Chains A and B, each alone.
Chain A
Amino acid sequence: MKRYIIFFAVSFFFSISANAGGPWPQQKGIGYYKLSQWWLNFDQHYTDSGLIDPNVTTGIYNTFFYGEYGITDRLTGVINAPIFSRNFTNNLISGTTGETIVKGDALNSIGDIDLGIKYGLTKPGSAFPIAASIVFGLPTGKSVGGEQGNLQTGDGEFNQIFQIDAGKGFKIGKNINSYVSAYVGINNRTNGFSEEFRYGIEYGAGLFNQKLWLIGRLNGVESFKNGETAETINSTSIFANNTEFSSYGVEAAFYVTKQVGVSASFASAFRGEIIAAAPSYSVGVFYDLGK
């Protein structure tokens, strides 16, 4: 019996840091690693009509390990692993009697791990780098948990994401290095989930001799709406599909030493369907061997 519930915690809310990602593969033998904590608390969500409805307060807390390693100068291995994921719901209490109507619940486990490779389609050092990536989203999390089976730390399906990144680095004035990058991708999903078109654009600027990077992002997911719905899936299952959103985000990454830094980020959907209507936050520590 297939059982799926809504998965509000779209991993694209999670954002990597200034000097990883984008169309720039790592140099051979060079890596970038980041440990971060990402969290989202929401008591309302975008419905299928794009409007906002309330829901019992739900929290998702993920501890991510993100890593990039240059296998060659053009081929980089990428991992994005939620090594600890916690999904919980609050108690629902009667305002009249004080009795518990629905007891809160929590699920703790590893989340869904993304493994991928990125290949530089242009030569290293190109003025207009382009890279292609394939990422496999492994169903290592739990898709059903809690007493009512309405919690999850993974979507229970195998994603295959094909993505093209392009970007350009440039200077603003004499001292501020900056870049702009964009991507488009297709997420081929299994187990009745609809395929997705993903896109995003990012701008970053390095201040104070590139010790502080300020980054702004716009990301989006559009569902092909070609999968199952609650009407067509196995009648005993719980199923939600066709999540969409457009989100904005900002991040600050500060190099404490030449290679080690800290970062903090914020992202929030400004349009969506079947997704949390609340901001997500992330703080992290990174180790950038490319510096």
Chain B
Amino acid sequence: MKNLIFLIIPILFIGCIKDDILSDTVDPVLRLTQKAEAIAIDESFQFEFIYLNNVGREESVAVTWSSSAPDVISISQEGLATALSTGNSTISIEYQDENGLLTDAFEVVVGDETVEVEETQEKSGQINTTSTYALSGDFTLTAEENNLVLVFDENYNASTALPGLYVYLTNNPSTISGALEIGKVETFSGAHSYSIADVDINEYSHILYFCKPFNVKVGDGEIQDN
């Protein structure tokens, strides 16, 4: 009997892996990504958009395209706009998902030449802790050819107590799911930078700091237009 007790005790208390539920819902985003501020008469321009769902992941959806002045600019349901006569028109997209109606719009002039809206070359922001570990600092995100350069200012500061602190680009600051891992944090104070290959400057909305061993978010910062 005594031996049986000795054997049973360990077996009774073996822990099992269960589930932790993370609240990771974000507002969906519908955004025109390729657009023209002017289209030359009788020319066409292909508009493009991106849809990020309620966890910040890009998803292919069918949107409704419209022109506020179809006699000035016509637009197909594939986003191909054609300038028909002089004037202005607002090109709009709409998508109804389970959370509501999403829209984006851009005003276009019919002119002498087609002028595509140039992509922002520099954005910036500020990271802040969302935990009780120290994390703060200003950053600048710059597009250089096909790469991004993420530069942190002198005022950057991060706790050295955390094991396995990583930095990400993400469209959902609650999770690393769908995020791009930039790398392990090796600098904990002062100016430093990361080079990120093959990423568009408009592709992600946030910088995320995440502790891998704890599987927990440490802080974030929204990437904002300058």
- Interface residue from A36, A53, A91, A104 paired with B9 (Cβ < 8 Å): A36
The interface stretch among A43-51, A72-80, A122-130 is A43-51
Report if A6-B24 is in contact (Cβ < 8 Å); known contacts: A35-B9, A150-B164, A285-B9. no
**Chain B residues near A48 (CB, 8 Å)?**
133, 159, 161-162
Give chain B nearest CB distance to A17 CB in angstroms: 14
Report if A150-B10 is in contact (Cβ < 8 Å); known contacts: A47-B132, A49-B132. no
Report if A61-B161 is in contact (Cβ < 8 Å); known contacts: A52-B132, A53-B131, A97-B55. no
CB contacts under 8 Å to A, within B160-175, are: 160-165, 175
The interface stretch among B14-22, B82-90, B141-149 is B14-22
Give chain B nearest CB distance to A268 CB in angstroms: 18
The interface stretch among B31-39, B116-124, B192-200, B208-216 is B208-216
Beta-carbon contact of B162 and A61 below 8 Å: no
- Interface residue from A6, A41, A236 paired with B184 (Cβ < 8 Å): A236
Beta-carbon contact of B15 and A95 below 8 Å: no
Q: Is the interface of A mostly helix, strand, loop or mixed?
A: strand
The CB with the most chain B CB atoms within 10 A, among A60, A63, A96, A284, is that of A96
**Chain A residues near B162 (CB, 8 Å)?**
48, 230, 240
**Chain A residues near B15 (CB, 8 Å)?**
39, 41, 59-61, 86, 88
Beta-carbon contact of A106 and B17 below 8 Å: yes
How far, in angstroms, from A150 to B162 measured CA to CA in the complex? Answer: 13
Beta-carbon contact of B132 and A230 below 8 Å: no
Beta-carbon contact of B17 and A91 below 8 Å: yes
User: What residue of chain B has the Cβ atom nearest to residue A64's Cβ?
Assistant: B10
Give chain B nearest CB distance to A64 CB in angstroms: 10
User: What residue of chain A has the Cβ atom nearest to residue B165's Cβ?
Assistant: A230
Report if A61-B13 is in contact (Cβ < 8 Å); known contacts: A95-B22, A96-B55. yes
Report if A101-B176 is in contact (Cβ < 8 Å); known contacts: A5-B164, A285-B5. yes
Beta-carbon contact of A37 and B13 below 8 Å: yes
Give chain A nearest CB distance to B19 CB in angstroms: 5
**Chain A residues near B2 (CB, 8 Å)?**
260, 285
A4 on the B face (CB < 8 A): yes
The CB with the most chain A CB atoms within 10 A, among B134, B161, B162, B175, is that of B161
B177 on the A face (CB < 8 A): yes
Give chain A nearest CB distance to B114 CB in angstroms: 40
Report if A101-B22 is in contact (Cβ < 8 Å); known contacts: A4-B163, A47-B133, A63-B10. yes
**Chain A residues near B101 (CB, 8 Å)?**
none
**Chain A residues near B185 (CB, 8 Å)?**
230
**Chain A residues near B112 (CB, 8 Å)?**
none
Query: How many inter-chain contacts with C-beta < 8 Å in the A-B complex?
Result: 148
Give chain B nearest CB distance to A229 CB in angstroms: 4
Scoring A residues 88 to 126 as 1 if CB is less than 8 Å from chain B, else 0, what string do you get?
A: 111111111101011011100000000000000000000
Report if A53-B17 is in contact (Cβ < 8 Å); known contacts: A101-B176, A285-B6. no
How far, in angstroms, from A106 to B163 measured CA to CA in the complex? Answer: 19
How far, in angstroms, from A106 to B18 measured CA to CA in the complex? Answer: 11
CB contacts under 8 Å to B, within A9-61, are: 35-37, 39, 41, 43, 45, 47-49, 51-57, 59-61
Beta-carbon contact of A49 and B5 below 8 Å: no
Give chain A nearest CB distance to B152 CB in angstroms: 15
How far, in angstroms, from A106 to B14 measured CA to CA in the complex? Answer: 11
Beta-carbon contact of A235 and B164 below 8 Å: no
Give chain B nearest CB distance to A32 CB in angstroms: 16
Give chain B nearest CB distance to A48 CB in angstroms: 3
Give chain A nearest CB distance to B163 CB in angstroms: 4
Which B residues are within 8 Å of any A CB, using their own CB? 2, 5-6, 9-10, 12-25, 54-55, 131-134, 159-165, 175-177, 184-186, 188, 212-216
Which A residues are within 8 Å of any B CB, using their own CB? 4-6, 35-37, 39, 41, 43, 45, 47-49, 51-57, 59-61, 63, 84, 86, 88-97, 99, 101-102, 104-106, 148, 150, 229-232, 235-236, 238-242, 260, 273-274, 283-285
28 contacts between A and B (CB under 8 A): A5-B213, A6-B163, A6-B214, A35-B6, A37-B12, A47-B133, A48-B159, A49-B133, A49-B134, A52-B132, A53-B133, A55-B216, A63-B9, A90-B20, A91-B17, A91-B20, A92-B20, A94-B21, A94-B22, A96-B24, A101-B22, A101-B177, A150-B212, A238-B213, A240-B161, A240-B213, A260-B2, A285-B6
Given contacts A35-B6, A95-B23, 4 further A-B contacts (CB under 8 A): A56-B20, A56-B215, A102-B176, A274-B161
